[in-house]
Amino acid sequence: MKFSETPLPGCYVVEASPHRDERGFFVRTFCADEFADQGLHPRFAQTSVSSSVHCGTLRGLHFQAAPALEEKLVRCDRGGIFDVAVDLRGGAPTFGCWYGIELWADGDQQLYIPKGFAHGFQTLSDDVRMTYQIGPAFQSELAAGIRWDDPDIAVAWPLAPAHQSERDLALPRLADLSIDLGEVRAC
């Protein structure tokens, strides 16, 4: 695996190294030892799959509040997405900054999103399926998010949003967030 740190410290593009032959390929998408070699020690508690039917679907920006801050390893299994991480770590020089990357099923890249970040994505094709490794386990009472179009963050989504949930459309701006972010509170 190859780890490339993004402009947001702690957030990495992880490129797998598939073994290919005439039968197809085999690829390891996670290895605790290789993550530890990078100083990363994720404790994934669940694996989840997200499916989106239409191109332009936008989900996010989601996170889990303290005391159960999430970290994620995201990959696209079918189709393509524009995957986004937003730094919510109070005191970080990159607080409120975002990083985005296209992830495609026929590519070998994943995005590792550390604790203290919000996450969202937009589909770049129809019939998209993604897999997330997430830790700790989801706790609905701590589920939170910020608006996809918050002007203070200004994510440059590649497409006009075509499909969004009512929940996502009602999320607050980062400046109006009224929940305890614990160690990721705004400075």
Q: For residues 153 and 62, what is the distance between their CA atoms, to the nearest angstrom? A: 14
CA torsion angle 100 103 121 88 (round to 10):
-40
Domain count, the chain: 1
CATH number at residue 75: 2.60.120.10
Unique residue bearing structure tokens 């332009």: 56
169 backbone dihedrals φ, ψ, rounded to 5° = -65, -20
54 catalytic? Reply is no
- Give pLDDT, residue 186: 38
Assess if residue 181 is contained within a domain: no
19 catalytic? Reply is no
- Give pLDDT, residue 91: 83
Print the domain residue range for 155. 2-176
- Give pLDDT, residue 181: 60
51 backbone dihedrals φ, ψ, rounded to 5° = -125, 135
Assess if residue 57 is contained within a domain: yes
Assess if residue 185 is contained within a domain: no
Assess if residue 78 is contained within a domain: yes
Write out pLDDT tens, residues 131-178.
999 999 999 999 999 999 999 999 999 999 989 999 999 999 999 987
Assess if residue 162 is contained within a domain: yes
Write out pLDDT tens, residues 49-99.
999 999 999 999 999 998 999 999 999 999 999 999 999 998 889 999 999
Exactly one of 62, 99, 112, 119 is catalytic; name it. Answer: 62
Assess if residue 184 is contained within a domain: no
